[in-house]
């Protein structure tokens, strides 16, 4: 598995009007081997930017990201990413989408077939292997996207709002499936979400980011007995206390975000 170390990370972008926008500022974050960590914060605080830098899709302006002590210079097979938009290949069937990463790694054909069958079973996709993405529900598409990423067994699983577009019932089912897979595979997971409840339910640690430029406001350890049924976990006093603690930190930053947006709007009107 893998440890992630983010050290003094800052990222600035050039905005459309030419001004410099700082997305994240001087972030230090450590994610231990096999740990499940969620990131929450107000819209535009740099959660996805941080994730894409760790994935190697975006280069930092300053600072560094290390995975097992090795500097991230670009995308790599040690880091798999799952997006909210599924990002499936529409011209490939379910089984061929799952095969993709394995084929890119040059895995022998017999092994590819064995792994694909395993993840079809694991994700409840048997009977749909020859379907195309356009023939699937949103929940099924997300299961295919997760299966495709997990099939080539990355050490780090990066997830950007993967369940954000799903209805509430499907979202809960997907959360429980993800937890079951994580317990079996024990990958290191970094999970971006807008939902405080989702973050607390899934994670061993929740990171709260400030309004832009994104900094680390707080890191909250989540100590819950997840051997119980979901209903017992989410209705427990411990869950309510932790959710409230995280929400108070997020709420404070959301209010700052709204206040800053109002100031910018007021300034535009006076120009």
Q: Domain for residue 254, yes or no?
A: yes
- Beta strands (DSSP E) in 210-253 are 216-221
Burial class (CB in 10 A: 0-12, 13-18, 19+), 235: exposed
pLDDT in tens, 89-100: 999 999 999 999
Task: Locate 2 and state its tokens.
Answer: 């893998």
Least Cα distance to 214 among 14, 18, 25 occurs for 25
Q: Domain for residue 84, yes or no?
A: no
What pLDDT sits at residue 51? 96
- Beta strands (DSSP E) in 76-201 are 79-83, 156-160, 188-192
Q: Domain for residue 17, yes or no?
A: yes
259 — pLDDT class (breaks 50, 70, 90): confident
pLDDT in tens, 188-242: 999 999 999 999 999 999 999 999 999 999 999 999 988 889 999 999 999 999 9
Average pLDDT over residues 79-88: 85
Least Cα distance to 149 among 117, 83, 101 occurs for 101
Burial class (CB in 10 A: 0-12, 13-18, 19+), 106: exposed
Q: List the beta bridge partners of residue 206.
A: 38, 220
263 — pLDDT class (breaks 50, 70, 90): low
Return the residue matching tokens 């051997």.
Answer: 227
pTM: 0.88
Count the domains in the chain: 1
Least Cα distance to 27 among 59, 2, 5, 55 occurs for 5
How far apart are the C-alpha atoms of 3 and 198, rounded to whole Å? 23
Looking at residue 15, which CATH number applies to its domain?
A: 3.40.50.300
What pLDDT sits at residue 94? 95
What pLDDT sits at residue 1? 60
Average pLDDT over residues 130-136: 94
**4 vs 146, which has greater pLDDT?**
4
What pLDDT sits at residue 218? 96
190, 157 Cβ separation under 8 angstroms: yes
39 — pLDDT class (breaks 50, 70, 90): very high
Torsion of CA 165, 139, 191, 34, to 10 degrees: 180
Q: Domain for residue 247, yes or no?
A: yes
**143 vs 215, which has greater pLDDT?**
215
Least Cα distance to 23 among 210, 152, 214, 171 occurs for 214
Residue 264, pLDDT above cutoff 70: no
- Beta strands (DSSP E) in the chain are 4-14, 20-31, 36-40, 62-67, 70-71, 79-83, 156-160, 188-192, 205-209, 216-221
Burial class (CB in 10 A: 0-12, 13-18, 19+), 236: middle
What pLDDT sits at residue 265? 60
What pLDDT sits at residue 157? 93
What pLDDT sits at residue 267? 56
Burial class (CB in 10 A: 0-12, 13-18, 19+), 266: exposed
Q: Domain for residue 30, yes or no?
A: yes
**268 vs 53, which has greater pLDDT?**
53
Q: Which of 77-86, 188-197, 222-231, 243-252 has the lowest average pLDDT? A: 77-86
Domain containing 160: what range?
4-78+154-270
**128 vs 164, which has greater pLDDT?**
128
């Amino acid at each position: 598995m893998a440890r992630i170390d983010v050290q003094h990370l800052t990222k600035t972008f050039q905005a459309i009007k030419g001004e410099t926008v700082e997305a994240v500022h001087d972030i230090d974050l450590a994610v231990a081997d096999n740990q499940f960590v969620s990131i929450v914060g107000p819209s535009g605080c740099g959660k996805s930017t941080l994730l894409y830098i760790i994935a190697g899709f975006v280069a930092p302006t300053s600072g560094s990201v290390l995975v097992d002590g090795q500097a991230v210079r670009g995308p790599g097979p040690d880091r798999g990413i799952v997006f909210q938009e599924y990002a499936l290949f529409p011209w490939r069937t379910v089984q061929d989408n799952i095969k993709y990463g394995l084929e890119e790694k040059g895995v022998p054909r017999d092994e590819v077939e064995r792994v694909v069958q395993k993840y079809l079973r694991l994700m409840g996709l048997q009977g749909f292997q020859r379907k195309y993405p356009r023939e699937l529900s949103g929940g099924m598409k997300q299961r295919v996207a997760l299966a495709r990423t997990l099939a080539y067994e990355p050490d780090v699983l990066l997830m950007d709002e993967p369940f954000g577009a799903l209805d509430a019932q499907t979202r809960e089912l997907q959360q429980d499936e993800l937890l079951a897979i994580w317990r079996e595979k024990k990958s290191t997971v970094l999970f971006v979400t807008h939902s405080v409840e989702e973050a607390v339910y899934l994670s061993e640690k929740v990171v709260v980011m400030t309004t832009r430029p994104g900094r680390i406001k707080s890191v909250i350890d989540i100590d819950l007995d997840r051997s119980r049924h979901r209903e017992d976990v989410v209705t427990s006093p411990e869950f309510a206390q932790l959710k409230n603690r995280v929400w108070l930190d997020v709420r404070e930053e959301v209010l700052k975000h709204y206040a800053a947006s109002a100031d910018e709007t007021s300034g535009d009107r006076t120009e």
